Each structure stands twice: as structure tokens, then as C-alpha cells.
Homo-oligomer: A and B are copies of this chain.
Amino acid sequence: MKNRVITISREFGSGGRTIGKNVAEALGIVCYDNELIQKIAAESGFNADYIEDAGEYAPGGVISSAFSRRGFGQNNADYLWKIQYSIIEQLAAKESCVIVGRCADYILRGKADCLRVFIHADIRFRADRIVKVYGERDESPEQRVRDKDRRRAAYHRFYTDMKWGHAQNYDLTLNSGTLGIDRCVQIIQSLY
């Protein structure tokens, strides 16, 4: 694989998705985020909304156990993981790109020329931001942020055995709350 890939892991509400999109635009390469979910949906036969959710639930969690019982054999989350794994490998082999989320950093380890980025921010910044971006919900924004973080961390740990948010797993980690989203984009772009 000769292509260069930027993988962006991110805390919910930190603006990682926006940063990925803006970096890709600035560099003139593709950003896989929703497109990746669509591809997994097409290949798996599952609904895109379910896949988006499933990417944040470790097997054994509420959603996966509602669909299948863990014990012997694979459940839906395992099935989706395999499809996701193979699609991410194919994308990195095909072209230079930005991939947001979906454990792409782990999947491409040792295989692609990757810049592995993690974006985070404090809970205040993220709670404010999700209300602006996604609107109000019954649950408090702080609770929504904590809940999503917990699920993403558990999913990541289950499939990768890496500790989510540990500096040592990345080439760089950036606090979008203190540095600002535009500055994060500039730094990543300058490293490509």
C-alpha cells in the first residue's frame, strides 16, 4: 500500500468528524465517514442507522444482545466487524484518504502509511457543541457525551485491545477545545 491514510479517532462532540472532512478537503483527498457506513450497510445488508449505532456497542451490550445471544459463534457485531475490517483495508489499498472512527487506526496497523490522530476536548466544550450540532434531547448533553464515550471506549477495547485515548496509540492527539478546530485542521494538514 503506497497511499497515505489519516485515521481520526475522536471523542463524541469533539469535532473530529468536521476536522476529518476539512483536512480531506484541504488536501484534495476523500474523507470516509458516512460513506464508510453506507459501504458497510451495502455489503452487510444491515440498515445504516443500525451500523452507526453498532460501531459504539461492544458485543454483549444492549443492542447486540437484543439481536443475538453471545455464547458460541459470532453475533451481529462480530459479523459487522469483519466486513468493516475488509472494507477499510480495501479503501487504504485503493487511495489516499481520511478515515473517521471505526478503529481504522488499529485495522491498518503495520499495513498502510498512516497518520493516527485522536481528537478530544473537555466535557463542557463537547456538551455545548452537540447541542449546537445535533440539537437538544431529553437526556442532558453531559450525559449523552459520557454515555457515547463509554460505548466507544468499550467497543474499541473489545475489538482492538488498545486503550482508547492513550497517547501511545497515536502519532498525535489534539484538544480541539483548547486549540480550536481550525488549528487542529492546520496541524494535521501540515503533517501529511
Chain B residue with Cβ nearest A122: B168
| Alpha-carbon distance between A102 and B178 when the two chains are bound, in angstroms | 22
Chosen A-B contacts, 21 in total, with CB atoms closer than 8 Å, are A120-B168, A165-B166, A165-B167, A166-B167, A167-B170, A167-B175, A170-B173, A171-B174, A171-B175, A171-B178, A171-B179, A172-B172, A172-B173, A172-B175, A172-B179, A172-B187, A179-B191, A183-B191, A187-B187, A187-B190, A187-B191
Q: How far is the CB of A152 from chain B (nearest CB, A)?
A: 13
What is the chain B residue whose CB lies nearest that of A115?
B178
Q: Which residues of B contact A168 (CB under 8 A)?
A: 120, 122, 165
Q: A165-B167, A170-B175 are in contact. List 7 more A-B contacts (CB 8 A).
A: A118-B167, A120-B167, A165-B166, A170-B173, A172-B187, A179-B191, A187-B191
Residues of B within 8 A of A173 (CB): 167, 170, 172-173
Number of A residues whose C-beta is below 8 Å from B? Answer: 19
- B contact residues around A187 at 8 Å (CB): 172, 187, 190-191
Chain B residues near A178 (CB-CB < 8 A): 171
Identify which of residues 146-166 in chain A touch chain B, using a CB-to-CB cut-off of 8 Å.
Answer: 165-166
The residues of B that contact A165 with a CB separation of less than 8 Å are: 166-168
* Chain B residues with CB under 8 A of A167: 118, 120, 165-167, 170, 173, 175
- Bound CA span A145–B166, Å: 18
- Give chain A interface residues in 35-84, CB to chain B under 8 Å: none
